[in-house]
Amino acid sequence: MTFTADDWPIAAALLQFPGTTDRGPVQDAPAAAWVDAFTELHEAGFDDVDLTDSWVRIGDLSDTRLQEFGEALRTAGVRAPSVSAIRRSVIDARHGDENLAYSHRTIDAAAALGCSVVSVGLHQALTPAQQEQLWFWTVEGHHDPTDDRETWDTAVRRLRELGQHAADVGLLLSLEMYEDTYLGTADSSVRLVEDIGLREVGLNPDIGNLVRLHRPIESWREIAEKTLPYANFWHVKNYYRDEDRARDLYVAMPAPMEFGIISYREAFRIAIDAGFQGVLCCEHYGGDGLSVSATNQDYLRRHVLPKHSGYSLGTSRVAQGSPKDGAQ
């Protein structure tokens, strides 16, 4: 059974929903506040939500609160196929242990909520300089140490440990690509996932993260071709981009998926040839990201995703774990 335009799970990220409002952290808000957010997202056209942890950290909810959270999802009529834990690197020099423990708790909470995939990454907290920018990606942030076998091995070991935990509770673990980390290039990302070597650990080829940088970039098509065979979840977003290298000019701005430089029509052809059947998650920075995400979902279902089941699907290098095929 393969997904089609009608039933491919497409979740909206919660990036536009702030973690703190004038009534305090949403983490501690009454469940009614969660229902409001899910309802707004549902009314915008989404049946699926990505539990982006900049909004609420499900791994930090008590059992009772987690049940309330699941109830809030059901009340609003949305499902949560995925969780995205952001900036919680397990090799963070100061917070690595803490982030590892948090990631374990997040996997357990995700399993309790019936999710199918948890996405983590190696990007670390935004620097003060990044926080001052209109777009944080226009200045450099944290770099994972290069030629540092020990840190690499720690990343492999800890992510494998998380992957094994995910597998044990019927989930997939997905690793989000992000510049200047071990998941910052296509080659390094593939190497990392192969070093981990678990079927339940794959990539989240968030190519948008890489093509918005104010410096020379890898070709999106090459990234797609190299990483999609390992993808088991996908943050999809797009950017307008201009370059004038002779003038050292780089410009990039968030774009609707249909209009940016990545051709998702072509990227999905590559994905399907590579056996991809993962959950999609629409992200969009700046402005009315939820409306743009709804426009993006529309575009995917109308122009990009297969119209009919029974298409020829390639063989992925990793397990595919969407709700439909029972991987959880």
Beta bridge partners of 255: 238
Residues belonging to the chain: 328
Q: Can you tell me the distance from the alpha carbon of 295 to that of 199, in angstroms, rounded to the nearest whole number? A: 33
Residue 34 beta carbon to a copy of itself: minimum distance, rounded to whole angstroms: 17
With binding defined as CB under 8 A, does residue 245 bind a copy of itself?
Answer: yes
Annotate each residue in 87-126 with x if it binds a copy of itself (CB under 8 A) or - if it does not, as one string. ----------------------------------------
141, 184, 289, 323: which one binds a copy of itself (CB under 8 A): 289
291 near a copy of itself, judged by CB under 8 A: yes
Q: How far is the CB of 40 from a copy of itself (least distance, A)?
A: 9
Stretch that binds a copy of itself, among 113-121, 153-161, 172-180, 257-265 (CB under 8 A): 257-265
Cα 315 to Cα 49, 190, 197, 202, 229, distances in angstroms: 27, 16, 17, 14, 8
Coil, strand or helix at 39:
helix
Q: Could you tell me the maximum CA-CA distance found in the chain, to the nearest angstrom? A: 59
The correct pick among 294, 305, 318, 327 for binding a copy of itself (CB under 8 A) is 294
CB 290 within 8 A of CB 242: no
Interacting stretch for a copy of itself, rule CB under 8 A, among 1-9, 156-164, 172-180, 259-267?
Answer: 259-267
Q: Using alpha carbons, list the distances in angstroms from residue 113 to 50, 117, 150, 195, 262.
A: 12, 11, 35, 30, 33
Instruction: Please say which residue, 146 or 219, places its beta carbon nearer to a copy of itself.
Output: 219
If the CB atoms of residues 44 and 66 are measured against a copy of itself, the closer one turns out to be 44
Q: Is 260 in the site for a copy of itself (CB under 8 A)?
A: yes
Rounded-to-integer distance, Cα 39 and Cα 33, Å: 10
* Per-residue contact flags (x/-) with a copy of itself for residues 148 to 167, judged by CB under 8 A: --------------------
